[in-house]
Amino acid sequence: MFIDKSMTKNVITVSPQTAILDAKAMMAEHRIHHLPVVEADNTLVGIVTDRDIRSAWPSRVLTVEEKRSEEGRLGQLKVGDIMTANPISISPTNTLEDALLMMQETPVGAFPVVGQDHKLQGIVSKSDLLRAFINVLGIKEPGTLLCILVEDKLGQMKKIVDAISEERISFGSILVARYWEEGKRAVFPYLLTNNVVHVKKKLQEMGFEVLNPMEWYLDQLPKQAD
């Protein structure tokens, strides 16, 4: 799935000349945490976050006189004074997976989406990614997630899908993750039913190991050989 299908397109933006007091008010009004900074032709030049604004705000431990002085200085500050210039951005032709990997490697909560002409087309945030993957995984509907340990060889997925389909159970989604034992993989079907006792027994009778959900986690790495 491409970013342009999941990004927020109607983006609230500011210019480098916008007063940070105005930027703060816009964030509060629209309940957002990131404001892309653009020139008059919509070219992206930076991004300002609520954290940037908090960092510029006067300290609570200042004296009354010092606070007045700082508030006067604050009233003169523009977004261009505190923004992150040339922020990390993403292309509308990148995928959701690309955005997830970038977000894991970069300590930011949102990426401006820009085309080859550097014009802003949208913004994609952690909330956008969560919403997109909730839809992709089908987990809005009630169901049960199974974890099935299989050998890492062709044909295993088909056996599992066929076995579950024969029970007339619908899939919300199905994922495959590397497991902590060499030559093994973990298959995670999300089934749109809460009655999985029979299908779990069937899979076990076929030779598959169905794990207890309390005994696995998705990012577990393979064991290292001694």
Direct distance between the N- and C-terminal alpha carbons of the chain, in angstroms, rounded to an integer: 41
Among 86, 106, 135, residue at a domain's last position: 135
Whether residues 131 and 142 fall in one domain: no
What is the enclosing helix (H) or strand (E) of 7?
none
Whether residues 10 and 96 fall in one domain: yes
Among 135, 155, 190, residue at a domain's last position: 135
Q: pLDDT (tens digit, 0 to 9) for every residue of the chain, 226 residues total?
A: 789 888 999 999 999 999 998 999 999 999 999 999 999 999 999 999 999 988 887 655 445 565 565 556 676 889 999 999 999 999 999 998 899 899 889 888 999 999 999 999 999 998 898 888 888 788 888 899 999 999 988 899 999 999 999 999 999 999 887 766 788 888 999 999 999 999 999 999 999 999 876 666 655 544 444 4
Whether residues 74 and 170 fall in one domain: no
Domain count, the chain: 2
Whether residues 62 and 157 fall in one domain: no
Q: Which domain holds residue 177?
A: 138-215
Query: Which tokens belong to 92?
Result: 């509308």
What sign does the dihedral 59-63-66-68 (CA atoms) show? positive
In a domain, 26, yes or no: yes
Do the beta carbons of residue 55 and residue 82 sit within 8 Å? yes
Among 135, 151, 184, residue at a domain's last position: 135
Whether residues 68 and 120 fall in one domain: yes
In a domain, 225, yes or no: no
Q: Which residues pair with 44 in a beta bridge?
A: 38
